[in-house]
Amino acid sequence: MTVHYQADPSVIRSKTVAVIGYGSQGHAHSLNLRDSGVDVVVGLRAGSASADEAREAGLEVVSPAEAAQRGDVIMLLVPDQHHKSVYEESVREHLTPGKALAVGHGFSVHYDQVAPPQGVDVFLVAPKSPGHLVRRVYTEGGGVPCLVAIHQDATGGALDLALSYADAIGGTHAGVIETTFKDETETDLFGEQAVLCGGSEALIKAGFETLVEAGYPEELAYFECLHELKLIVDLYYEGGLARMNHSVSDTAEYGGHAIGNRIITDTVKGEMKKVLGEIQSGAFAREFIADQAEGGTKLASMRAASEAHPLETVGKKLRGMMGWLKPKAASSGDGASEPAVPASASA
């Protein structure tokens, strides 16, 4: 695995970068690039909720099509399910030979939602972190780890360009790992489905329900199965499994080693392999894209079911009692607060 800790900053500084979208990743890329001496223009649709914020930060905001026309590098940082329409409506006609199309995640290119022409470079720079951390760590003089990959190298300079871009957003401080669109996309989807979002939410709910169905108070079940998970994950993040096992009591460590494999059994792992197969075959991508095409009704109903879980009611009440948990800043309208401890997940 090749990891880069330096890149030539002049490569990206000689280009105009059009950043389309100013959400979680878009604001961080735009500001970090600008502060690294790169010419940046932000592309946002008419009436965009984020346009004022971008202008107040001193950035130039134009339409997505004008940004694409002016950009030598066109970085698509709108949600993955909108890449196709934004590309077709605003980018395609301006993606002339010698330019570069870039993405922050390989989904749309890997699953053929966006099919760039010959003659242009196509690369990805995917920070392994939410956008607000990409910005914050950069302002503190550092950077978060990034992945880079090349889908198409028309100019012969795609990798140097991608590395220079990753350097300008701070990535080389932590390390920029070379990968492929396939590996980045498929591992990212698998991680969020099996472990980070899907797996952890299902594990939390099953634990909570087991305690509550056995007659224990919901409040205790919430603390044990959700609240304390953060403290454990922080230890994983700082020092891996050993740090966690060192820090908890011997009782907890013994119980963990002895019981964990009875919870996440070979059956569960078998299901993980099936899930990975559906990601690799494109079946998951087709299902998600079809739901989005129908207005995202399946997503909305699954989201509503998650929000209706009793864990959410008791959690809201308990978090209200914990003053230090009050959200510090809204992040790109998703209602999430900034994490108190840097999170490595980019799901």
Q: Is 105 a catalytic site residue?
A: yes
The interface partner of residue 44, options being Mg ion, ligand NAP, none and the CB cut-off 5 to 8 Å by kind, is: ligand NAP
Which of 87, 188, 204, 279 is in the footprint of Mg ion by CB under 5 A? Answer: 188
Q: Contact between 131 and ligand NAP (CB under 6 A)? A: yes
Q: Contact between 347 and Mg ion (CB under 5 A)? A: yes
Which of 25, 36, 152, 172 is in the footprint of ligand NAP by CB under 6 A? Answer: 25
The interface partner of residue 192, options being ligand NAP, Mg ion, none and the CB cut-off 5 to 8 Å by kind, is: Mg ion
Q: Contact between 75 and ligand NAP (CB under 6 A)? A: no
The interface partner of residue 315, options being Mg ion, ligand NAP, none and the CB cut-off 5 to 8 Å by kind, is: none
The interface partner of residue 48, options being Mg ion, ligand NAP, none and the CB cut-off 5 to 8 Å by kind, is: ligand NAP
Q: Contact between 197 and ligand NAP (CB under 6 A)? A: no
69 vs 332, beta carbon nearer ligand NAP = 332
The interface partner of residue 234, options being ligand NAP, Mg ion, none and the CB cut-off 5 to 8 Å by kind, is: none
Residue whose C-beta lies closest to ligand NAP: 23
**Segment contacting Mg ion by CB under 5 A, of 80-88, 146-154, 188-196, 292-300:** 188-196
Which of 15, 17, 21, 32 is in the footprint of ligand NAP by CB under 6 A? Answer: 21
- Per residue, the 3-state secondary structure of the chain, as one string, reads CCEECCCCHHHHHCCEEEEECCCHHHHHHHHHHHHCCCEEEEECCCCCCCHHHHHHCCCEEECHHHHHHHCCEEEECCCHHHHHHHHHHHHHHHCCCCCEEEECCCHHHHCCCCCCCCCCEEEEEEECCCHHHHHHHHHCCCCCCEEEEEEECCCCCHHHHHHHHHHHCCHHHHCEEEECHHHHHHHHHHHHHHHHCHHHHHHHHHHHHHHHHCCCCHHHHHHHHHHHHHHHHHHHHHHHHHHHHHHCCHHHHHHHHHHHHHHCCHHHHHHHHHHHHHHHHCHHHHHHHHHHHCCCHHHHHHHHHHHCCHHHHHHHHHHHHCHHHCCCCCCCCCCCCCCCCCCCCCC
- We find the least distance from the C-beta atom of residue 244 to ligand NAP, in angstroms, to be 24
Residues in touch with Mg ion (CB under 5 A): 188, 192, 347
